[in-house]
Amino acid sequence: MEQAGPIDSNATTLTMSDGQPLHLRDWPKAQARGAMLIVHGLGEHSGRYQRLAQWFHACGYSVRSYDQRGHGLSPGPRGALAHPDDLLQDLATVYRDYAASQASEPLLLGHSMGGLVAARAVLDRRITPSALLLSSPALRSREPAWLRRLVGRLATVTPNLPLRSGLKADKLSHDPNLAAAYLGDPQCMGWITPQLADFIFRAGDSTIADAARLAVPTLLLVAGSDELVDPSGSHDFSTAAASTGQLTTRIFCSLYHELFNETEPGRGQVLMQLSDWLGRHPGV
C-alpha cells in the first residue's frame, strides 16, 4: 500500500535524563489503528524513513522516529556515547514518552544498529512493545576477531576517538541513486567511536545468546546478500528464538542491507510480507 502524496513530519526535541537532547520526527494520524516507533541505523538519521513512515501511515499507523545521540540533528560528538548503555536508555525514554500519548503500546521497528538496540532493549525488559519488527539487525559484525579485541581495548582508553566506519554506501541497496543520495546527505556521517563499536559487538553477541527470552510477537526481516552486517547473526537468533513461538523470520536471499529501500520487485516483496504479518496479528 502506498500513500498518494507526501506527508509532513512534526519536528520536536526530547531531553534525556543526562541532559542530551534528541531530535524527534512525528507523523501523526487521526484515528490511527496504532502507533509505530522507528529506530534508525549507524551513520544515518530519522529523516531517511519518510518513505517508510508514509507507507505505515497509509496502513493506519501514527509514526515516530528520532535521531539517536551522535547522529543526524541530535547535537553532540558524532557516534559518541557517554555510557555503553546510552542508546538503550535513550530508546526506553523515547518509547515511554511516545506510549504516554497513545491509546495502546506502540509497535517498535529497528533497522541495522537500530534493530540491535530495539532487540536488546526488549530482551532487557526496558520496554514491552505490542510487537517488534527487526530489519537487517546488526547482530553479528563482519569484522575479524582481532579488530574486535582491539576495539574493546580502545573503548577503555579512548572511548570516543573518532574512527572511520568504512560503510559501503553502494551495498545499501541495488538502487545506485540511493548510494549517491546517502553520500550527499549532510546528516549522514561516516564516523564511529570505539565505545559505540564495542557496544555493537557485545550487544550483538548477548542478543543472540538471550534470544530464547523473546516474549513479544516479532518479525525478523533478513537481507540474504547483506554485506554490511553478517546475516548469520540473524539466522542464529532465529534458531535460538524458535522455542518461544514469538518469532517469524523472512529471508530475502538476493537483497541488500536496506530492505525498505531496495529496487522493485524486492521492496514490494518485503512490504507484502510485512503487511501480511501485520494483518495476521490483529492485536498490533
pLDDT in tens, the chain (284 residues): 344 456 777 999 999 999 999 999 999 999 999 999 999 999 999 999 999 999 999 999 999 999 999 999 999 999 999 999 999 999 999 999 999 999 999 999 999 999 999 999 999 999 999 999 999 999 999 999 999 999 999 999 999 999 999 999 999 999 999 999 999 999 999 999 999 999 999 999 999 999 999 999 999 999 999 999 999 999 999 999 999 999 999 999 999 999 999 999 999 999 999 999 999 886 67
User: What span, in angstroms and rounded, lies between the C-alpha atoms of 108 and 115?
Assistant: 9
Provide φ and ψ at 214, rounded to 5°.
Answer: -60, 125
Instruction: Identify which of 77, 56, 110, 148 has the alpha carbon closest to the alpha carbon of residue 237.
Output: 110
CATH class of 10-279: alpha beta
Distant-in-sequence, close-in-space partners of 101: CB < 8 Å, separation ≥ 6: none
Residue 163: Cβ within 10 Å count: 17
Per domain, the residue ranges of the chain are 10-279
pTM here is: 0.96
